[in-house]
Structure 1
Amino acid sequence: MEGEPTSSSQPQAKKPRRSSSSLDSGLSLSSTLSMETTWTVSDIAKAAHLLTVLPRPLRFEDEEEMRRVYSIIYDVFRYKSVLNQALIQTAFFLKYPQFQKQPCLVSLLFYDLYKRRFLPRENHDEPLRAQLFEEAGLQEAETCLWDVRVKLAASLSRLRIKNKALSLSKLLPPHLRDSHVAALDELPVAAWINTFKIDMDEVTHLLEKAGLKRLDSKELKPDALSYVLDDWCPKLIKSHPTHRSDLAQSALVKRNLIVLQDRAFCFGPAVMCKIVHDLDLAGRLVQTHVVSPRTTAYLANILSDNEKIKTLIAFGAGQRKEEYDAYLRMLGVTNTEVRAESFLDVPSDSCLLESVVGVLATPPNTYSGVRDPVDLACSRGGDLSMLEVLTEVEDWRMKRIDAILEEERQTLRLAMSRPQIQAVLYETHSIVPAENNEMVNRMVNEMNRRAHEKHAEELGKTVLASQKEEGLETADENVVAPSDSVASIENIYMREPERPKFTEADVTVPSCDVFEIRFLPGLFLQEDIHVTMEEEGCYLAYLRRKEVVRLNAKYMINIAASRGLFGGETGGSKEAKKSQSGRPQRKKPDLQRQTSGTPLLIRPTSRRVEMERIAAPTQASISRRATGPGKISSGNFQQGTWSSTICQRHQNHFQHEFTPVVGINPKMVAQIRRQDARKWWREAARHIIVFGFNFELDQNSVDRYMRPRLKLSRTKPYYKVPLRVNVASIQFDDPNKFL
């Protein structure tokens, strides 16, 4: 994976000294590296390789070196606006126009000069520095900046005096100041155990061997000689901030036995797995956007303990799909499928989401609540664009908010419109209310309103305009509403003046079609339903259907029983079904579903196609119209009037029907045949709606080999005269047998 720590081929500069008392695990607790961010000339050279117009491929020796390099770049991006003002005031680019196309490299060296207090470098690394800077293209810019160092220092001083700032950091926005960045040093170091490669007991043994003692109480904060397992996120350990450098350079991290990960990006996967376990869902899970491959790997890691969830599908990898696949293989992940396409680009008739029961919605957001931007960039494989986004000023961030909000709306709308999806966990790392509470409430109200309109359309009613437009936006016609009825989405907006008006209270919507906002399971005790964890830099909202439908054996049996497939009527006694005359009333066959919110065995589009096939004229019906009622009598079968392509089965039945039988009225026989035909069509339609024509269109329904056969019984005429039946039943053979 590009940007991941591996061996480096460049000359190595002198690095911070490490203790020689490292254990076999590669973890040392006596490192002399201070918590203050420091870097070497090698780190500056590698940062220059990344900041060129065409970034060059780069490898890091370990996680700590990667973090140091990206920390330099993050600081350069933070101070870029102030440094550019000083460069403009001193006319640096006018004096040295050759650097106008490489402003980032100039800012990198300028920031390093400022942090050195405009003093010269140490001479003991001069040969190595000259070689590294020459390879990175920094030697000339270094010399030019040193020549005008006095003017640059004076320009920065004037900026501080003009803005009454005690330090240069006071000229930055509040979220980019040094005080905010320095607070990161006080955060505990979080890492999750990769159980694909090692057991938790083995990691505990290695940490104890390195001198770290596990604290039993999860409420205690770890000190310099201890660690603790996180109480919310499974397989996550927290240690003292002084262990960051040692862990990053340890063999546990280099061998991917543990993975460093910001705790804020572990909440979503942990809560999603808890939801799936509590609801007892079985199928596949979807992550709408790959925030970072480490987050996806952590979700796959804890999902591997749930045998009912077979696969995790992660969308939005784009051009980095192969890179993410390689990283997941390196971690040993086997239950994840990374997709390059966007979640919003999945066609409505795609089979990719058929067995998906839960969605972790992680759309792009402003990331204004992220506490450790460097860790996020490193976890994304070294994403410089993420650092640029996180160091934007407010004006530029507000210009992007409209596009961000629209993608968040589309993501939630698509996730909640799939009838088989029972739970959606919405995750952002923003402090903007429009992305959090307001977005969730708005989309839940919109999707529930659509459900009312859908069921009103099935009842032949029209929604009141005031009810439809109150506080909600116009729905997107390309998104399928959370319903499985035969009516298409275009019918929602059709207006028929003869339909009666209604309000939402007049229409009963099944609970499985209605979403509600729920408490996060087993983690939080706050009164608020969707919890904002501003101090953790994470926002989570749990959206679930009021009635959860589980596609298990019990559900299939209940559906079959409700449709009378086991014989007999469902519900009520025989006496209650009798009319006033004492004769039992036959229940009208119900060809539509009882509740449209439960998942269909076949799709509505397939049902319409199959109904058209059923209603299409057959050879027998065409032949009847061609011959006419007066052309064939009951005692004289005129062979010459029939077409040469007549159905032989119908011809045999027709000959048998009009064979003279003593004591039977031909009109009575014809009436019985018409009754049988109507019964056959009714039974065939019910059978096809439930089980479908093709096995490939009905993979998730009842076992294909256990479906009942379609019985075609004939009504016997009076006087008990037997009639010959050519076909007694229809057996749907397995098409694979003939391949």
Structure 2
Amino acid sequence: RKKMDSGFPDRVYLLASVIYQNNHLEKPAAQRLVSYGKERGLRLPEVKDEEMHRAAYELAFSTLKYQELLEDMMIDSCCYLTQLMMSLVAVMLYDFQNRKFLPRECKVDEIVQEVRHVEDYLLRFKTKLAASLARCRIKHDLLSIECILPESVKKKQQRSSNLPLYAWVNTLKSSLDEIQSVLKSAGFSQVKSIGQLEGQTFCQDPHCGDILVFPAQLKAQLYSTKLLSDHKLTIQDKSCSLGPNAVCSLLHEEGDVLMVGSFSGLTVSHTAALIAEKYKANSINWPSVYVCVNNCTDAQREELELTVSAMGCNSKRKQMYVLEWAVSIGLCLCWRQKRRQKKMEQKKAPGC
């Protein structure tokens, strides 16, 4: 994604504010000068555009890093709205100062009244906010606001900026050969090892055959190929892919997968895709993936279902596995037992 110095669409700010609301650091009451209300676990607004979705998360977590500084600016300049609006104020203030307090140019998309209201409010406080930031930089002798971050955070940022990008091939929608062909036609060159990654190159991961590795700075170029937006290639930390690959390699024909705990829709989809690819030649005895969602909120469950659907898990064309949503582990095990009995009956039936 190109840096949006002119600002973001309204929907990006709205989504970023909800992410911030759900994740901000809540201070003790005696130290809480800026209140965001008590709401947590709010449902995320729907943003279908992948680039806008990613921009919202980046904006939200950038705001979280500078929560203390932004709150100091709000207090010092007396910039304060109702509790329900303060998360939106925070994310828009971060972007506002990042644009050197210049008005945004990106206003052609859908209008969200709350966003426009906060934007007008911040513009009225523009001089006070800029002065507040200047005083903070002078007080702490900061060349830039990045200097206020703890050394541990700076090191993590530096380390993460140098880490290669890992992306797994969604075999429910594509294949490794197709992805490699598209990348090469887009100007990428394939190398043999991670140590050779430089410029517009990629290589296959030595441990997980469905994972491709890219230099860190190539995320924007990958989006330009539409492989990411079409969900044929998915960027995810390699640690998230080790579990699905390990399970798939150990799973035998009579086994099933039960997913319990904290995981994303992408991990569910990856597990299902690997199993579907491994057993695609077997039209009868393919394993099932059971997902236990008893600890999920309605919003989290809906987000999981939307993600796996977008990844192609509900595709009739490649429905070579069963993806079940269960409200408890007991129900998962019950379903599994019934399914195993059905398999046994199919094997015993004449002509099977």
TM-score, structure 2 as length reference:
0.72
Contact 2:16 2:59 in 1 (8 A): no
Q: Shift of residue 165 of structure 1?
A: 5.3
- Give the counterpart of 1:263 among 238, 245, 249: 238
Contact 1:48 1:105 in 2 (8 A): yes
Residue equivalent to 2:129: 152
TM-aligned CA distance change 1:295 to 1:702, over 3 Å = closer
> Quick one: distance in 2 between partners of 1:700 and 1:55?
39
Deviations 1:396-433 (CA, angstroms, capped at 9, x unpaired):
xxxxxxxxxxxxxxxxxxxxxxxxxxxxxxxxxxxxxx
Residue equivalent to 1:604: none
Corresponding letter in the other structure for 2:242: F
TM-aligned CA distance change 1:281 to 1:41, over 3 Å = same
TM-aligned CA distance change 1:221 to 1:244, over 3 Å = same
TM-aligned CA distance change 1:39 to 1:116, over 3 Å = closer
Q: Shift of residue 235 of structure 1?
A: 0.9
- Give the counterpart of 1:48 among 14, 18, 38: 14
Report 1:370-389 matches (<5 A).
Answer: none
Which 5+ residue runs of structure 2 have no aligned equivalent? 19-38, 314-318
> Quick one: distance in 1 between partners of 2:345 and 2:48?
53
Report 1:684-723 matches (<5 A).
Answer: 699=341
SS at match of 2:172: coil
Contact 2:14 2:45 in 1 (8 A): no
Residue 190 (structure 1) aligned with residue 173 (structure 2): no
Residue equivalent to 2:209: 234
Corresponding letter in the other structure for 1:299: T
Residue equivalent to 2:146: 169
Residue equivalent to 1:286: 258
Q: Shift of residue 703 of structure 1?
A: 7.9
Deviations 1:677-704 (CA, angstroms, capped at 9, x unpaired):
xxxxxxxxxxxxxxxxxxxxx9499989
Contact 1:64 1:249 in 2 (8 A): no
Residue equivalent to 1:296: 268
> Quick one: distance in 2 between partners of 1:310 and 1:157?
61
Asked which structure has the greater RCO (Cα within 8 Å, sep 6+), the reply is 2
Residue equivalent to 2:33: none
Contact 2:7 2:95 in 1 (8 A): no
SS at match of 2:257: strand
TM-aligned CA distance change 1:336 to 1:245, over 3 Å = farther
Q: Shift of residue 329 of structure 1?
A: 4.0
Q: Shift of residue 205 of structure 1?
A: 2.1
Contact 1:314 1:339 in 2 (8 A): yes
Residue equivalent to 2:57: 70
Q: Shift of residue 167 of structure 1?
A: 4.1
TM-aligned CA distance change 1:161 to 1:312, over 3 Å = same
Contact 1:212 1:226 in 2 (8 A): yes
> Quick one: distance in 2 between partners of 1:49 and 1:329?
21
Which 5+ residue runs of structure 1 have no aligned equivalent? 1-15, 17-32, 357-697, 707-739
> Quick one: distance in 2 between partners of 1:311 and 1:294?
17
> Quick one: distance in 1 between partners of 2:55 and 2:5?
6
Residue equivalent to 2:327: 341
Corresponding letter in the other structure for 1:192: W
Q: Shift of residue 195 of structure 1?
A: 1.9
Q: Shift of residue 40 of structure 1?
A: 3.9
Residue equivalent to 1:59: 47
TM-score, structure 1 as length reference:
0.37
Deviations 1:300-328 (CA, angstroms, capped at 9, x unpaired):
12222046761111212552445534543
- Give the counterpart of 1:312 among 283, 289, 293: 289
Residue equivalent to 1:209: 185
CA RMSD of aligned residues (A): 3.7
SS at match of 2:167: strand
**Larger Rg, first or second structure (1 or 2):** 1
Residue 328 (structure 1) aligned with residue 328 (structure 2): no
> Quick one: distance in 2 between partners of 1:201 and 1:324?
28
Contact 1:47 1:70 in 2 (8 A): no
Contact 1:191 1:258 in 2 (8 A): yes
Residue equivalent to 2:22: none
Residue equivalent to 1:245: 220
TM-aligned CA distance change 1:338 to 1:166, over 3 Å = farther
Count of residues paired in the alignment: 312
> Quick one: distance in 1 between partners of 2:302 and 2:159?
36
TM-aligned CA distance change 1:248 to 1:337, over 3 Å = same
Contact 1:218 1:228 in 2 (8 A): yes
> Quick one: distance in 2 between partners of 1:69 and 1:55?
14
Contact 2:288 2:322 in 1 (8 A): yes
Residue equivalent to 1:79: 66
Contact 1:133 1:139 in 2 (8 A): no
Deviations 1:120-140 (CA, angstroms, capped at 9, x unpaired):
337xx4xx63x7696342344
SS at match of 2:263: coil
Q: Shift of residue 163 of structure 1?
A: 5.1
TM-aligned CA distance change 1:116 to 1:192, over 3 Å = same
SS at match of 2:287: strand
Contact 1:190 1:260 in 2 (8 A): yes
Contact 1:286 1:313 in 2 (8 A): yes
Corresponding letter in the other structure for 2:269: A
Higher helix content, 1 or 2:
2
Q: Shift of residue 228 of structure 1?
A: 0.7
Report 1:464-543 matches (<5 A).
Answer: none
TM-aligned CA distance change 1:340 to 1:312, over 3 Å = closer
> Quick one: distance in 1 between partners of 2:344 and 2:178?
45
Q: Shift of residue 44 of structure 1?
A: 5.3
Residue 106 (structure 1) aligned with residue 93 (structure 2): no
Residue equivalent to 1:273: 248
Q: Shift of residue 340 of structure 1?
A: 4.6
Deviations 1:96-140 (CA, angstroms, capped at 9, x unpaired):
xx444311122123212321233x337xx4xx63x7696342344
Residue 117 (structure 1) aligned with residue 97 (structure 2): no
SS at match of 2:219: helix
Q: Shift of residue 705 of structure 1?
A: 11
Contact 2:170 2:273 in 1 (8 A): yes
TM-aligned CA distance change 1:243 to 1:700, over 3 Å = same
Residue equivalent to 1:662: none
Contact 2:257 2:289 in 1 (8 A): yes
